C-alpha cells in the first residue's frame, strides 16, 4: 500500500502539504490523502498514477473490452500543414463546387451536435494537398492519415482542450483532421454510432479517460485517438442500444432545431425565436437519463465516479442581440442569400440516419440553391450619399412586412455599426470572412454595400457606372447651380465648400476603384480575406482594414502565390515559381507544362523509382513559356488588356 496526497487545486500547496502531513501523523487525514495498492494502476493502460479513482472504476478496464475491439475505431485524419491555403469557412466557397468538402477540425465544447462550419480543398481527391511539399527539401509535408475512413459517418471530438471531451455526430461526406479526430463504426451503423455518442458523452466514459490521462487530466488535456481506442466499452444488448440511441437522437434533434435560428449554420431558416425549439429542462432530463443508463450498463453507482455537473448549452435571448440578428437575416434576404418564405422550407424527417446525412451545400434558408437575387442591382446597394437603392430602406421594408419592430434607428445602425457586428459574427476558427462589404470613401460621406457572393471582374465597373459616376454628376450639377447664381449668400458659399469637399472625396473613391479594376479578378476559391485585400483602403473598419493591408502586402511579396488573385495579377512571378514548386503548378493547372515523372536510381539497392521533377528548361526557355502562357491563357485576358493599355499610355 502507498500513500498519495492530491494537492491539485490548492492555492498554497506548501502550506497544504504541511497541514496534511500533520493530519496524517495525528491519524486524521483529510480528503487530500489517498491510500492505494499501487499494483491496481496496472489495470489501466499506461499504468497512470490515478490514485484518486474508485477501485470499481479501475476494475472495468479489466472487465470490458476496449473500444477498438468492439467494432469502433478512433483515428487521426488530415493535416494540411497550411490551413490558410487549404481550409475555408463554408460560406466562403462557391456553393456549386463539390471539390470543397466538409472538414471536422475540432472546435468548442459541444456534445452530440455541432454544425461542421469548415470545408477543405479536396479537388481531385486532395491531389494538391497530397503534393504540398517543403520547397527546400522537396519532401511532402501534408499528411492524409486514415484516408480510407474519409467520407464515412462517425463521431468527432476536439483533441486538445482544457475542458472535458465532447463527442458530436460527424456527417458522411466529411473529412476529419488532426485537431478534430474521427471515430468510425465498422458497419457505418447510425444506431450504433448514436448509442456510442451517449456513452462517450457520459461521466463514466469521461472518468475512464481522465483515469488513463492520470496527472495530465488536471491541465490541458490531449484526447489522443489511442487513448479513446483503449477506453473500456461494454457489449450492449439490443434494448440498451435502442434506449441509448433514442436518447442521443432526441438530444441531437433539440440542438439541431435550435440551430435553425443560427445564421452561421447549414440548418438555418430564420432567427425568429420559437421556444419549442429549445428547452434546457428537456435537455437536462435527457442527459440525466443517459447518465443513469450508462452507470447501470457499466455496473457503477453515481458515487463511484468523479462528480461532474451535467453540462447543458445555456441559451440566452438578449433582446438587442435578437433584433440585430433579425437585421442581419433581412440583409441576407435583400441580397438574395436567404428566402423569407419559411412555409416552403421543410426540415428533414428525423431518423437515426439524419445526424449523419451529408451536409447540404447551402443552408435551408438559401433561395433556390443560389446566392443570386433576381434583379439587376448586381449585388450592390447604396448606404448614404449616392444613387441606387438604399440598403436600409429595403431592409426596413422587409422587416415591416414581417410585422416586426426595432428599438433602434435602423439607418444609423446599418451605416455605423452593422459591419462591426457582421465581421464578429462571420469570424470563426481563426478565419474572418464577412460577406456583406461596406466600402467607404475616406471621410465616410459615401459608402456602398457589396455582396461577396455576387463578385466578378465586372463589379468595379458596376460600382462606377451605377453608383459613383451618377453621384458625381449630381454633385457637379448642384455645384454649378449654386455657382450660377448672380447673388450668393453665406450659406451658398458654405455649400460650395462642402460640395467641393464631397467631390474630392468621391473622386478619390472613384480613382481607387479604377486602380483595382485594372487587375482584380475575384474568385471565391481564394476566400474572403484574399479576395478583399486589394480593396483594403475602402474598408474603414480599422482592424479589418489593417488585416487586409497586411494580406495585400503579403500578396505583393509572393507569400500567397497559390491564390488565383496572385496568378492573375503577377503571372510572370507565379509561373516562374510553378517551375520550382509542384504544388503551385498543380494549384494553377500548369503541372503538365512544367513537371514530369522521371525514372531515377535510389536507395541502397540502387533500384529504379519514378520521381516528379521540373522539366529541364533553361532560363530563356522558361521565359518563352511564360510569355506564351500569358498570351494564350483565358484567365489572363484582363492582365493582357491592362498591359496593352499601359503600353499605349492609356490613363484609363
pLDDT for 93 beyond 90: yes
Residue holding cell 468621391? 506
pLDDT for 267 beyond 90: yes
More confident position, 464 or 385: 464
More confident position, 277 or 251: 251
pLDDT in tens, 207-250: 888 887 865 556 788 999 999 999 999 999 999 999 999 999 99
Give residues with Cβ within 8 angstroms of 454, minimum separation 6.
Answer: 335, 371, 372, 373, 378, 379, 380
Confidence bin at 51 (pLDDT 50/70/90): low
**Rounded average pLDDT over 356-365:** 93
* DSSP characters over 399-433: HHHTT---SS-HHHHHHHTHHHHHHHHTEETTEE-
Q: Grid coordinates standing for 460?
A: 468595379
Q: What is the pLDDT of residue 565?
A: 97
What is the DSSP secondary structure assignment for residue 465, as one 8-state letter?
I
Q: What is the pLDDT of residue 212?
A: 79
Q: What is the pLDDT of residue 469?
A: 94
**Rounded average pLDDT over 320-340:** 92
Cα–Cα distance measured from residue 537 to residue 551, given in angstroms and rounded to the nearest whole number? 12
Edge-to-edge, what's the strand order for the sheet holding 436-440?
Answer: 380-382, 447-451, 436-440
**Rounded average pLDDT over 485-512:** 90
DSSP β-bridge partners for residue 382: 390, 448
Q: What is the pLDDT of residue 103?
A: 98
Q: Which of 494, 514, 551 has the alpha carbon at shortest distance from 652?
A: 514
Q: What is the pLDDT of residue 2?
A: 61
Sign of the dihedral through C-alpha 499, 504, 505, 509: positive
**Rounded average pLDDT over 317-328:** 90
pLDDT for 427 beyond 90: yes
Cα–Cα distance measured from residue 406 to residue 327, given in angstroms and rounded to the nearest whole number? 9
pLDDT for 307 beyond 80: no
Element (H, E) at 551: helix 542-557
pLDDT in tens, 154-178: 999 999 998 889 999 999 999 999 9
Q: Mean pLDDT for the chain? A: 89
**Rounded average pLDDT over 504-514:** 96
Tell me how long the chain is.
Answer: 652
Give residues with Cβ within 8 angstroms of 417, minimum separation 6.
Answer: none
Torsion of CA 417, 422, 424, 427, to 10 degrees: -160
Q: What is the pLDDT of residue 374?
A: 43
Torsion of CA 280, 282, 287, 292, to 10 degrees: 140
Considering all CA atoms of the chain, what is the largest pairwise distance in Å, rounded to the nearest integer?
108
Give residues with Cβ within 8 angstroms of 196, minimum separation 6.
Answer: 72, 155, 167, 183, 185, 233
pLDDT in tens, 56-90: 887 888 889 999 999 999 999 999 999 999 999 99
Confidence bin at 419 (pLDDT 50/70/90): very high
pLDDT for 47 beyond 60: no
Rounded (5°) CA angle 239-229-62: 70
pLDDT for 402 beyond 60: yes
Amino acid at each position: 500500500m502507498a500513500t498519495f496526497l492530491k494537492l491539485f487545486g490548492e492555492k498554497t500547496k506548501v502550506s497544504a502539504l504541511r497541514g496534511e502531513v500533520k493530519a496524517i501523523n495525528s491519524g486524521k487525514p483529510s480528503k487530500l490523502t489517498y491510500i492505494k495498492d499501487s499494483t491496481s494502476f496496472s489495470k489501466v493502460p499506461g499504468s497512470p498514477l490515478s490514485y484518486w479513482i474508485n477501485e470499481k472504476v479501475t476494475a472495468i478496464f479489466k472487465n470490458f473490452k476496449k473500444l477498438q475491439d468492439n467494432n469502433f475505431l478512433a483515428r487521426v485524419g488530415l493535416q494540411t500543414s497550411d490551413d490558410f491555403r487549404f481550409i475555408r469557412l463554408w460560406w466562403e466557397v462557391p456553393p456549386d463546387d463539390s471539390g470543397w468538402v466538409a472538414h471536422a477540425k475540432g472546435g468548442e465544447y459541444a456534445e452530440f451536435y455541432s454544425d461542421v462550419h469548415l470545408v477543405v480543398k479536396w479537388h481531385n481527391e486532395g491531389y494538391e494537398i497530397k503534393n504540398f511539399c517543403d520547397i527546400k527539401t522537396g519532401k511532402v509535408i501534408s499528411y492524409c492519415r486514415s484516408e480510407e475512413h474519409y467520407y464515412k459517418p462517425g463521431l468527432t471530438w476536439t483533441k486538445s482542450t482544457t475542458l472535458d471531451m465532447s463527442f458530436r455526430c460527424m456527417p458522411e461526406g466529411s473529412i476529419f483532421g488532426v485537431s478534430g479526430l474521427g471515430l468510425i463504426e465498422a458497419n457505418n451503423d447510425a444506431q450504433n454510432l448514436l448509442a456510442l455518442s451517449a456513452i462517450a458523452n457520459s461521466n463514466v466514459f469521461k472518468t475512464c479517460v481522465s483515469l488513463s490521462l492520470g496527472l495530465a487530466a488536471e491541465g490541458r488535456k490531449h484526447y489522443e485517438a489511442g487513448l479513446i481506442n483503449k477506453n473500456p466499452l461494454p457489449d450492449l444488448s439490443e434494448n440498451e442500444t435502442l434506449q441509448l440511441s433514442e436518447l442521443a437522437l432526441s438530444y441531437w434533434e433539440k440542438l439541431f432545431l435550435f440551430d435553425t435560428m443560427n445564421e452561421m449554420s447549414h440548418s438555418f431558416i430564420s432567427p425568429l425565436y420559437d421556444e419549442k425549439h429549445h428547452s434546457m429542462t428537456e435537455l437536462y432530463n435527457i442527459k440525466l437519463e443517459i447518465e443513469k443508463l450508462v452507470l447501470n450498463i457499466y455496473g457503477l453507482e453515481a458515487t463511484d465516479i468523479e462528480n461532474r455537473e451535467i453540462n447543458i448549452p445555456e441559451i440566452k435571448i438578449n433582446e438587442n442581440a435578437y433584433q440585430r440578428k433579425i437585421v442581419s437575416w433581412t440583409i441576407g434576404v435583400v441580397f438574395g442569400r436567404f428566402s423569407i418564405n419559411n412555409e416552403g422550407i421543410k426540415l428533414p424527417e428525423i431518423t437515426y440516419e439524419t445526424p449523419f446525412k451529408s451536409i447540404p451545400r447551402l443552408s435551408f434558408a438559401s433561395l433556390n440553391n443560389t446566392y443570386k437575387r433576381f434583379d439587376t442591382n448586381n449585388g450592390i446597394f447604396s448606404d448614404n450619399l449616392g444613387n441606387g437603392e438604399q440598403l436600409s430602406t429595403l431592409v426596413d421594408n422587409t422587416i415591416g412586412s414581417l410585422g416586426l419592430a426595432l428599438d433602434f434607428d435602423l439607418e444609423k445602425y446599418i451605416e455605423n455599426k452593422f459591419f462591426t457586428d457582421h465581421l464578429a459574427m462571420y469570424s470563426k476558427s481563426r478565419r474572418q470572412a464577412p460577406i456583406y462589404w461596406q466600402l467607404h470613401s475616406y471621410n465616410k460621406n459615401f459608402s456602398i454595400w457589396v455582396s461577396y457572393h455576387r463578385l466578378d471582374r465586372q463589379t468595379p465597373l458596376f460600382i462606377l457606372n451605377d453608383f459613383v459616376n451618377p453621384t458625381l454628376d449630381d454633385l457637379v450639377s448642384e455645384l454649378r447651380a449654386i455657382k450660377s447664381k448672380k447673388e450668393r449668400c453665406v450659406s451658398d458659399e458654405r455649400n460650395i465648400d462642402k460640395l467641393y469637399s464631397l467631390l474630392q472625396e468621391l473622386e478619390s473613391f472613384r480613382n481607387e476603384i479604377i486602380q483595382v479594376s485594372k487587375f482584380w479578378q475575384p474568385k471565391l476559391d481564394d476566400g474572403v480575406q484574399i479576395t478583399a485585400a486589394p480593396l483594403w483602403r475602402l474598408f474603414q473598419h480599422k482592424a479589418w482594414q489593417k488585416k487586409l493591408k497586411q494580406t495585400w502586402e503579403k500578396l505583393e511579396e509572393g507569400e500567397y502565390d497559390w491564390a488565383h488573385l496572385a496568378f492573375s495579377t503577377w503571372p510572370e512571378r507565379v509561373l516562374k515559381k510553378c517551375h520550382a514548386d509542384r504544388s503551385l503548378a498543380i494549384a494553377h493547372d500548369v503541372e503538365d507544362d512544367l513537371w514530369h515523372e522521371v525514372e531515377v536510381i535510389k536507395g541502397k539497392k540502387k533500384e529504379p523509382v519514378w520521381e516528379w521533377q521540373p522539366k529541364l528548361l533553361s532560363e530563356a526557355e522558361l521565359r518563352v513559356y511564360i510569355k506564351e502562357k500569358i498570351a494564350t491563357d483565358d484567365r489572363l485576358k484582363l492582365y493582357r488588356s491592362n498591359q496593352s493599355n499601359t503600353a499605349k499610355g492609356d490613363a484609363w
